[in-house]
Amino acid sequence: MKSHTRGETLYVDDLNEPEDLLFGAVFVSSIPHGKIKSLDLSKAKNHPGVKALLTADQIPGENQIGNIIMDEPLFAEKSVHFMGQPIACVLAKSKETALQGRDLIHVEYVAQPPVFDPREAAEKGELISPVRTLVRGNPDLVWDSCDLVVEGKAETGAQEHLYLETQACLALPQEGDGLKICSATQAPTAVQRIVSKVLKIPMNRIEVEVRRLGGAFGGKEDQATPWAVMAALGAYLLKKPVKITLHREEDIKITGKRHPYSSDYKMGLNRDGVILAYEAAYYQNAGAAADLSPAIMERSLFHATNAYAIPDVRITGYSCKTNLPPFTAFRGFGAPQAVFVIESAIHHAAQALGVDASKIQKKNLLKENDAFPYGMGVKRSNARRSFKEAQSIFAFSKLLKETNRFNKRNRLVKRGVALAPICFGISFTNTFLNQAGALVQVYTDGSVSVNTGAVEMGQGVNPKIQKIAALTLGIPEQRILMERTNTKRIPNTSPTAASSGADINGMAAMLACEIIRKRLIRCAAEELGVVPALVSINRGKILVEDNSTDLTWESLVQSAYLKRINLSAQAHFAPKGIHYDKALEKGAPFTYHVFGTAVIQAEVDCLRGTLRILKAQAVHDAGKSLDHNIDQGQIEGGIVQAIGWMTSEEMVYCNGEIQSCNLGTYKVPDIHCAPEIESVFLRDSQNPKAVLKSKAIGEPPFLYGIGSYFAVLNAIRAFRNQTITRYGAPLTPERVLSLLCD
């Protein structure tokens, strides 16, 4: 966006501050588990400049912000379940005063034993939701007939979103007990619904507006809600505007992250590398409340077999309740964790068979009509094609040879290569969320406003919808303004998540534009005295059988207005054919799947125990890409984010407290870590299931980055010349050195 480069883009914290604005500071639990014996707010209340202290007992409605399961209070009342759980919020005339007030709050706890390990929680029966098992065939009947069975453990760590804009909300009281909430959220309707519940006021009194987010990646789907509700509560009770923004360290300490998973796998193959059976159990560390954990586990189950067809499969998922801040959505939504497990199993099996993992990968890729464990058959599978193209375009076998040569020549520096085929299902797995609305308004000068429920967070959903609207209306993109996301204009929105933003909102916008286009064509046909079928609009010109006329978009809009033709249209879109039966664990939860294959090259300094990801190349199935530039940006960004997850991003906990709570200790990739990236769009991929034959792009490319783990492991194997089957990410230098030595 042009304004980004001029520093003129406004995020929540940049909005003009009303003179009577109050600032919030959130007081949180300092222990991971215990009862609140006493809470002394008196000193804080009397601190000059402190205007109010919000606690559970001031909530007019329900003290409940749970989304899927109602298990999360806004403010802890009698007990605390994680370090960082909000207990109170201080409102004061300045941020400094609010922080001073917060330091004066005194709380006494009776500590209770905490649980941090998901397996321990599962053993104790501490589960967020019932265990889920996805079965196809029966692996137990197959193990004996396998030539090889490998078993092991694979673990991935937590990942902080590190959106550059921290959590923020500004709540402004409106006339008649109403509220306007400017929230940095991916889920404006969730904020509206939960504010309504907590304040006990109807949803129509609450306007939630989102201009844009300074990054989110899932971290503002559910996790933006508490701060918005607190600000709303303050604004509602005090009739004053309230702003709450989290300091980076606070944000890292108390908000949710990608779930750590500890998993078991078992894979059976024949001697040719055909996978005959696969079994996995995921112990998902969900933290102290459900947040989106059950939905994330569901996506893990659905992505257990990645891009492979396996006849006999049993996948079990445990959402384990621990005393850590509730974990949440993060790009990939449980799929990356599951893909890491099966890729670990394949890597393990490849070593046992003495072949490169790519041999096993290739043998088992999904073919047309192969079935996923959840029963759905694959349509228009591009798994094999993208794999083959990646191997040929990026000269994979030559690369393997070169890598071997390099490793023979170099004693202390070794290289490794890995292929990463991916398959990612598109749609919210919770079927009802797959709906979107749009409102398109044409003004009498011919300029157009497009409203949708999509939230722009850098992923380019607005420029994509702008393009769709321009193509549909037949006018230049510059005539179209993408409006802020606002619950008053588009109600009942689904969160902008699950990579679905452009798919469903773009389709709704297209439908609305289509309605207006039809009305205008009819009007033009009347003016020109021809049948509507002959009229078209192209680049702002009105054509009859492709010949230009005197009518332009502007003059047509003007005459339509004078003829009292409706120049606004609302539309609703809900993709058809998706369903899922949780009792049977069968159905067709996805509209379609995204495929692709990446080649990742890594280098390990075997003396110092450090690594570098040299290159990432991907053949990606973007359907008929809506915007190459934007889609390329999503591929590159996703890969590097996953490389961070696999290598340097280590969330360090000590007794439930996050130690890596700032950018000095939590290291996301910088420009030097980022590899050279080459992305090629899979040729002639047309997707009839989504808007303008495109495919969703946000999450799938993240999975490519998982290949970096195995590339590094292969480099280490080249140094040690022995089998390595310890699968645990991230590969920090400490882990690398341990893999090189132990």
Partner 1 sequence: MQFLLNDQLVDKALGAQVPALDYLRHQARLKGVKCGCREGDCGACNVLLGGMEGADPVYRSRSSCLLLLGHVQGKHLVTIEGLNQYQLNLVQQTILEENASQCGFCTPGLIICVYDYLCNSKELDPEEGVTAVEGVICRCTGYASIRRAIKKISAHYLSRLDPHEDRIPALVREKALPPYFANAGQKLSNLRNPPIKGDLIVAGATDLLIQRPLEVSRSKLFFLSNLDKIKKEEQRVIIGSGVTAEQLKNAGLIFSKHMDLIGAQTLRNAATVGGNIINASPIGDLCVMLLALNAALALKLDNKLRTLELKDFFLGYKQIDLKPGEILENISYFNTGEDLRFNFEKVSKRQHLDIASVNSGCAIRVKKKKIQWASLSAGGVAPIPLFLEKTSAFLVNKSLDPETVILASRIAASEVSPISDVRGSKTYKSRLLRRLILAHFVTLFDLEIIP
Q: Which is nearer to partner 1, 90 or 168 (CB)?
A: 168
Q: Which is nearer to partner 1, 457 or 535 (CB)?
A: 457
Among the residue ranges 66-74, 169-177, 188-196, 654-662, the one whose residues contact partner 1 (CB under 8 A)? 654-662
Q: Does the footprint of partner 1 cover residue 660 (CB under 8 A)?
A: yes
Closest distance between partner 1 and the C-beta of residue 608, in Å?
5
CA distance 363 to 382: 14
Phi/psi of residue 393, nearest 5 degrees: -60, -40
Q: Which is nearer to partner 1, 543 or 673 (CB)?
A: 673
Give me 419's structure tokens: 């292929």
Cβ distance 329 to 494 under 8 Å? no
CA distance 223 to 163: 12
The residue from 344, 625, 641, 708 that contacts partner 1 (CB under 8 A) is: 641
Q: Which is nearer to partner 1, 62 or 249 (CB)?
A: 249
Among the residue ranges 220-228, 322-330, 580-588, 669-677, the one whose residues contact partner 1 (CB under 8 A)? 669-677
Q: Does the footprint of partner 1 cover residue 248 (CB under 8 A)?
A: yes
Phi and psi based region of residue 552 (left: phi greater than 0; alpha: psi -120 to 50; beta: remaining): beta
Quick one: 104 exposed, middle or buried, by C-beta within 10 A (0-12, 13-18, 19+)?
A: middle
Closest distance between partner 1 and the C-beta of residue 480, in Å?
18
Task: Tell me the three state secondary structure of residue 101.
Answer: helix
Closest distance between partner 1 and the C-beta of residue 164, in Å?
4
- Partner residues linked to 480 by β-bridges: 448
Closest distance between partner 1 and the C-beta of residue 391, in Å?
22
**Region 132-191 residues binding partner 1, contact defined as CB under 8 A:** 161-166
Q: Does the footprint of partner 1 cover residue 633 (CB under 8 A)?
A: yes
Give the relative orientation of helices 293-302 and 335-353 as an angle to the nearest 10 degrees: 30
Q: Does the footprint of partner 1 cover residue 247 (CB under 8 A)?
A: yes
Contacts of 621 (CB under 8 A, 6+ apart): 382, 386, 594, 595, 596, 681, 682, 685, 695
User: How many residues line the site for partner 1 (CB under 8 A)?
Assistant: 73
The residue from 174, 447, 610, 725 that contacts partner 1 (CB under 8 A) is: 610
The residue from 518, 608, 683, 720 that contacts partner 1 (CB under 8 A) is: 608
Give the containing element (helix H, strand E) for 597: strand 592-605
The residue from 294, 589, 609, 623 that contacts partner 1 (CB under 8 A) is: 609
Closest distance between partner 1 and the C-beta of residue 103, in Å?
11
**Region 403-422 residues binding partner 1, contact defined as CB under 8 A:** 411-412
Cβ distance 62 to 198 under 8 Å? yes
Contacts of 63 (CB under 8 A, 6+ apart): 56, 73, 74, 75, 77, 198
The residue from 488, 663, 683, 723 that contacts partner 1 (CB under 8 A) is: 663
Amino acid at 63: N
The residue from 79, 112, 270, 665 that contacts partner 1 (CB under 8 A) is: 665
Among the residue ranges 291-299, 305-313, 661-669, 686-694, the one whose residues contact partner 1 (CB under 8 A)? 661-669
DSSP type of residue 670: -
Closest distance between partner 1 and the C-beta of residue 493, in Å?
20
Q: Which residue among 221, 477, 699, 734 is the active-site one?
A: 699
Task: Tell me the three state secondary structure of residue 235.
Answer: helix
Task: Tell me the three state secondary structure of residue 601.
Answer: strand
Q: Which is nearer to partner 1, 486 or 632 (CB)?
A: 632
Amino acid at 5: T
Contacts of 417 (CB under 8 A, 6+ apart): 396, 399, 400, 403, 599, 600, 601, 602, 711, 714
Greatest distance between any 2 Cα atoms in the chain: 84
The residue from 363, 384, 667, 693 that contacts partner 1 (CB under 8 A) is: 667
Closest distance between partner 1 and the C-beta of residue 99, in Å?
10
Q: Does the footprint of partner 1 cover residue 460 (CB under 8 A)?
A: yes
Contacts of 130 (CB under 8 A, 6+ apart): none
**Region 722-741 residues binding partner 1, contact defined as CB under 8 A:** 732-734, 737-738, 741
Q: What is the dihedral of CA 465, 466, 472, 477, to 10 degrees?
A: -160
Give me 349's structure tokens: 């099996």
Closest distance between partner 1 and the C-beta of residue 656, in Å?
15
Q: Which is nearer to partner 1, 11 or 116 (CB)?
A: 11
**Region 354-413 residues binding partner 1, contact defined as CB under 8 A:** 411-412
Q: Which is nearer to partner 1, 287 or 705 (CB)?
A: 705
DSSP type of residue 213: -
Sheet of 79-80, strand order: 79-80, 34-40, 106-111
Q: Does the footprint of partner 1 cover residue 648 (CB under 8 A)?
A: yes
Q: Does the footprint of partner 1 cover residue 636 (CB under 8 A)?
A: yes
Q: Which is nearer to partner 1, 272 or 676 (CB)?
A: 676
Give the relative orientation of helices 506-528 and 461-473 as an angle to the nearest 10 degrees: 20
**Region 670-699 residues binding partner 1, contact defined as CB under 8 A:** 670-674, 676-677
Give me 686's structure tokens: 């047309």
Place of tokens 């009305």: 519
- Residues 7-36, one symbol each (x = binds partner 1 by CB under 8 A, - = not), give xxxxx-xx----------------------
Give me 667's structure tokens: 């290291």
List C-alpha distances in Å: 488 to 178, 181, 451, 608, 642: 12, 11, 10, 57, 36
Among the residue ranges 2-10, 191-199, 422-430, 471-479, the one whose residues contact partner 1 (CB under 8 A)? 2-10
The residue from 23, 75, 116, 217 that contacts partner 1 (CB under 8 A) is: 217
**Region 193-212 residues binding partner 1, contact defined as CB under 8 A:** 212
CA 100 from chain center: how many Å?
35
Cβ distance 274 to 364 under 8 Å? yes
699 belongs to the catalytic site: yes
Q: Which is nearer to partner 1, 462 or 685 (CB)?
A: 462
Q: Which is nearer to partner 1, 263 or 499 (CB)?
A: 499
Q: Does the footprint of partner 1 cover residue 64 (CB under 8 A)?
A: no
The residue from 63, 558, 559, 659 that contacts partner 1 (CB under 8 A) is: 659
Contacts of 721 (CB under 8 A, 6+ apart): none
Q: Does the footprint of partner 1 cover residue 486 (CB under 8 A)?
A: no
The residue from 637, 656, 700, 707 that contacts partner 1 (CB under 8 A) is: 637
Give me 444's structure tokens: 């009498």
Closest distance between partner 1 and the C-beta of residue 87, in Å?
23
The residue from 224, 606, 613, 690 that contacts partner 1 (CB under 8 A) is: 606
CA distance 301 to 295: 10
CA distance 212 to 184: 7
Q: Which is nearer to partner 1, 274 or 673 (CB)?
A: 673
Closest distance between partner 1 and the C-beta of residue 177, in Å?
31
Amino acid at 138: N
CA distance 238 to 89: 13
Residue in 328, 303, 339, 338 with CA at minimum distance from that of residue 128: 328
Q: Does the footprint of partner 1 cover residue 3 (CB under 8 A)?
A: yes
The residue from 662, 680, 693, 725 that contacts partner 1 (CB under 8 A) is: 662
CA distance 90 to 538: 57
**Region 282-311 residues binding partner 1, contact defined as CB under 8 A:** none
The residue from 72, 222, 483, 650 that contacts partner 1 (CB under 8 A) is: 650
- Catalytic amino acids? 699
